[in-house]
């Protein structure tokens, strides 16, 4: 099987660059907030998991 890779490059004008920066900034913010919420939930449930695993021995 032959695998190919394509590389693209574009040169946005000032207006497009500003739009991309704003969009990617918002995307990064949403991702980081979701990651923080998921991490918090994980650490909140860890004590429950430890009790469930070792509590019935």
* 5-31 average pLDDT score: 96
The 3-class SS string of the chain reads CCCCCCCCCCCCCHHHHHHHHHHHHHHHHHHHHHHHHHHHHHHHHHHHHHHHHHCCC
pLDDT tens digits, residue range 22-50?
999 999 999 999 999 999 999 888 877 76
Task: Give residue 44's pLDDT.
Answer: 87
Cβ-based neighbour number of residue 30 at 10 Å = 10
Q: State which of 1-10, 22-31, 47-56 shows the largest mean pLDDT.
A: 22-31
Domain ranges of the chain: 19-57
| pTM listed for this prediction | 0.63
């Amino acid at each position: 099987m032959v695998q190919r890779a394509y590389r693209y490059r574009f040169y946005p004008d000032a207006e497009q660059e500003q739009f991309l920066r704003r969009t990617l900034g918002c995307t990064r913010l949403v991702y980081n907030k979701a990651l923080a919420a998921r991490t918090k939930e994980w650490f909140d449930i860890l004590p429950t998991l430890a009790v469930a695993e070792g509590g019935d021995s």
